[in-house]
Amino acid sequence: MPRQQLQTLTEPMYYVLLSLIEENHGYGIMQRVQTLTDGRVKLGAGTLYTLLSRFEKEKLIEYLREEDRKKIYRLTRKGYDTLHAEYTRLCQMVAEGAPFFPNEAAFSREEET
């Protein structure tokens, strides 16, 4: 059976969709992602263009209008649901992992001794 497209999102995919909860254009998305992640995640123009084309094709985002030769996009309902599903999945993963990391400092001390 073929794997369902965009069932799970990669890190760049997640942040691009997150940036498009509000309308934004290509370069704006790159800056927004950098701000959101404190510069941890950087998006290349090629990566972003490929993602935007793919999301638009999958109807996760929609093209709204053009301003100063820049295309403005926004998340669609389907895109929001996909993003929310990923958010829930990540929260669940964090919650399931939390009991295993009660005290990081104690683990470090044990390792030293």
- Kindly list the residues in this chain that would bind another protein in the complex (CB under 8 A): 10-12, 26-27, 30, 41-51, 53, 69-71
Of 90, 31, 20, give the one whose Cα is nearest residue 56: 20
Of 36, 17, 23, 26, give the one whose Cα is nearest residue 83: 17
CB 30 within 8 A of CB 43: yes
Closer to another protein at the Cβ: 27 or 107?
Answer: 27
Smallest distance from the beta carbon of 98 to another protein, in angstroms? 26
CB-CB neighbours of 101 under 10 Å: 9
Closer to another protein at the Cβ: 40 or 77?
Answer: 40
CB 33 within 8 A of CB 52: no
Smallest distance from the beta carbon of 105 to another protein, in angstroms? 28
Closer to another protein at the Cβ: 30 or 83?
Answer: 30
Smallest distance from the beta carbon of 3 to another protein, in angstroms? 12
